[in-house]
Amino acid sequence: MIAGDPMNIKEIRKAAGFTQQSLACACNMQIRQIQRLEAGEVSPGDMAAKNLFAVADALGVDPRTLLYDSQKK
Report pLDDT digits (tens) over 40-53.
Answer: 898 888 999 999 99
pLDDT computed for residue 31 by the predictor: 98
In a domain, 30, yes or no: yes
The pLDDT of residue 72: 45
Closest to 8 measured CA to CA, from 32, 43, 38, 29: 38
Asked, for residue 34, whether it belongs to a domain, the answer is yes
Q: Give domain status of residue 68, yes or no.
A: no
Residue 45, domain CATH: 1.10.260.40
Number of domains in the chain: 1
- Cα distance between residue 39 and residue 49, in whole Å: 19
On whether residue 12 sits in a domain, the answer given is yes
The H or E element containing residue 33 is: helix 31-39
Confidence at residue 2, expressed as pLDDT on a 0 to 100 scale: 38
Q: Specify if 65 maps to a domain.
A: no
pLDDT of amino acid 49? 94
Write out pLDDT tens, residues 59-70.
999 998 888 532
Q: What is the pLDDT of residue 66?
A: 87
Helix (H, G, I), strand (E, B) or coil at 52: helix
